[in-house]
Amino acid sequence: MRISYRRTVLLLAAALLFWSPAGGAQQTVDLVVLHLNDTHGSLEPHLNSDSAQVGGVARATTLIRDIRRLNPERVLLLHAGDLFSRGDPVTSCLGGRANLEILELMGVDALTPGNGDFYFGFENLVEQTSRVGYPVLHANVMHNHTGAPLLPAYTIQEISGVRVAILGLGSVRMGHYSARDLEWLDPVQVARQYAPVLRRQADLLLVLSHLGARGDSALAAAVPEIDLIVGGHSHTRLDSLMRVPRPPNPVAIGIAQAQSRYEVVGRVDVRMRRSQGGYIVDRLEGRLLPVTADVPDDPEVEAVLADYASALDAVVGTLESPLASAREGSSPLGDLAAEAVRSVTRSDIAMVWRWSAWPSLEAGPVTVADICRVHGERLPILTARVKGTAIGDLVRTPNVLFSGCEVEDSTVVRITGVPVDTAAFYTVSAPISAFTAIAGLRDLSTSRTGYRVDTAIERYLRQTGVVRPN
């Protein structure tokens, strides 16, 4: 016999309470820590490896709200990062704005950004997180020019009389263009600095981490003051807590992680026991709660998603024939992207990464959402002046498509239809990542154009109207 979702929730509420309130409310406090990680902009349900429909932020919200209702004033909700990257059009078109807003509707208490949350640019991360009221924490990333922190390091919150300190620690992909103005500090050393200070101010010391399960284990072994690590980054499915002993304390440090893409919601039950005017951890137990097709959608979150998605249905142009995208050989969609960048920036030459256009576009109307599907990286476009003698080296760069130059036998012979003048300078437009990755562009003085590759494609299609095959 199939048991309904609502009945399952009620049965779990009774069965999963691993203690009784025999000590009295003043002697023990039972907290519930709910956690998510690596949701990667996957807002809608999807099929897992077993072809079962799982996930969906509206379903996860229903589950979280039901647990809050059954545990009033005792729930802490945390997200351990990678909220944005690899997202669907609502995520990529809006730079994560909808994702952060929905976390606020869920009632999230703190977020630590993951490495993927920097990929749209740390400026975007700071701007988008400034819109929400909950703390966004990262103790081990700084501005490399000033040494100033990018985000607050920690927050201290009181829940049912228990003081909970939450320290944010994360990873940054330092080779990525988005990190070129950042400095990443060793998380263990940073935790060692903060732990004694926070330990004096809080009953429960929790680290919200985007370091991966292995990094969390090393952190726990090095910083025994920590009580619980809620982690992300490695997409690890921890059906129960990993435990790192810390003698003489009889309660080991717990490590939790909840896979990815809203497929599960993590739950850690924490019993706090009164001791010397405060509380200490008496017991930790963790489990994962599946987000399956029988969990109903939360109507408030569904409405927010529908509003954002409808704005992306605007038609910006029409294709008379399909445009294919290819990693090798001819790539008509990549060629269109390069031509769009050159057209809107009025450059002599434009460059785009071959891999930046993912799915092909079918013939017919093209919407804003379609453009975000084929180019969701939100890469800003920069321009630089490049001498004619250096253009040939750029054209021979692997995995790059060009517009504005004619090549014969691997040699540039014309730029914008005119024979190359090796003594002249030409304007070259390219994604910001090219000015990090390509040797011939790294040391050049650049200017921002105000466009990204996706917004250049959108404007080009609006100006062109109908794209016809050559």
- Bridge partners of 208? 168, 230
Q: Facing residues of 274 across strands?
A: 279
Output the six-digit token pair for 65. 């709200």
pTM for the whole thing? 0.92
Write down how long the chain is. 470
* Residues above pLDDT 70, as percent of the chain: 94
With a cut of 70, which residues of the chain have pLDDT below it?
1-26, 357
Task: Say what the pLDDT of residue 407 is.
Answer: 85
- What per-residue confidence (pLDDT) applies to 18? 43
pLDDT of residue 218: 98
